[in-house]
Amino acid sequence: MRRIIVMLAILGLFVMGARRAHAADPIAESMFQQALQMMRDGKFEEARKSLEASQKLEPKSGTLLVLGSCNEQLGRTATAWAQYKEAAGLARVEGRTEHATKATDLARALEGRLSKLRIDGQRMQGGVSLVVKLDGGVVLDGALGVSFAIDPGDHVITASAPGRADWSTTIRIAPGESQIVAVPELDLAPVATPQPPVAQRPFVPPPVPINTTEASEPVWPWVIGGIGVALGATAIGFGIDQRIVSDELEDKCGERRASCPNDYDFMAARDREVRDFGLFLGLGIGGLGGVAAGIIGLVAVPGEPAASAARLDVGPGYAAVVGSF
């Protein structure tokens, strides 16, 4: 443990010297400094999270170097090796030769301790493409059949293809160990047997109880009563017109209607007066009869058979409701 702390202190001083020569993001720098202290205290997992956040805010080869060292201490040798390689490339872009040399040396030192995995599988399964996943991530076709570095520990490999049953396995790789996993040809997916249709019983609504002691209200009284009201309103209109003509005759021809002007058509006005009076009288009587019949029909005792019958009789100059009540 003391050797690890000394190595980290040397690496931290090495990186910090280069970081001071360049302007740093204050948040990223604070997280980097906290991560260094966590690593000195042996809190590598917490330090890893802070270093990843610092690198995301401000990508730098120095931060990536320390992050690789942190993952190496956590046993994630493949992750650390990849980060050392990335840090070397980033350092060359930054013009930091010392960082590039250090990262390359650290990556080379890890190569002999890497765990490796090779996944073999037919890329086509019955004419459809095979999809292989490692810990939830898709393995590209170019990586199948090729040995690659992987962190030690437990890993889940799955395979799927359209129309085929899924396949999965869990493996455990020790530090420095190499394994080969062969994905078998996937079985055909079972075809679901359709369930026979369930016979549906027809819905029969419950019978509606009929109250035989009460008779429903008849409709005809409303019809006859409505016709009576309409006839009455029409009769009033003719009565008003008859009164207008009568006043006009008295104005033009006098009270006895014997001295009409030569240009006044007395006969036409008189015929209009007589016609209006006849329609007023006939329609008025018919309207009263219709209203009376409707009232009688509505107030009749419920349950008794309707013995009344009525009809509307309209003719020239008259209208009446005829029937028995």
Domains 2-112 and 115-182 share a fold: no
pLDDT tens over the chain, length 325 residues: 444 443 554 455 455 544 544 557 899 999 999 999 999 999 999 999 999 999 999 999 999 999 999 999 999 999 999 999 999 999 999 999 999 999 999 999 999 999 999 999 877 666 678 899 999 999 988 888 999 999 999 999 999 988 889 999 999 999 999 999 999 988 888 877 777 777 777 777 777 665 555 556 678 777 887 888 888 888 898 889 888 978 887 787 877 777 788 787 878 888 888 888 888 888 888 878 878 877 887 777 454 454 455 555 655 555 555 555 5
> What length is written for the chain?
325
Q: What is the pLDDT of residue 90?
A: 95
Q: What is the pLDDT of residue 196?
A: 75
The greatest distance separating any two alpha carbons of the chain, rounded to the nearest whole angstrom, comes to 147
Q: How far from 295 is each of 220, 227, 312, CA to CA, in Å?
A: 11, 13, 16
Structure tokens, 144? 């199948």
What backbone phi and psi angles, to 5 degrees, belong to 205?
-65, 145
Q: How far apart are CA 325 and CA 307, in angstroms?
A: 7
CATH number of 115-182: 2.60.40
CATH superfamily membership of 2-112 = Tetratricopeptide repeat domain (1.25.40.10)
Confirm if 159 and 121 have CB atoms less than 8 A apart. yes
Structure tokens, 151? 């962190």
Domain ranges of the chain: 2-112, 115-182, 220-324
Buried b (16+ CB within 10 A) or exposed e, 37-67: ebbeeeebeebbebbbebbebbebbbbbbbb
Considering the entire predicted model, what is its pTM? 0.53
Q: How far apart are CA 128 and CA 134, in angstroms?
A: 20
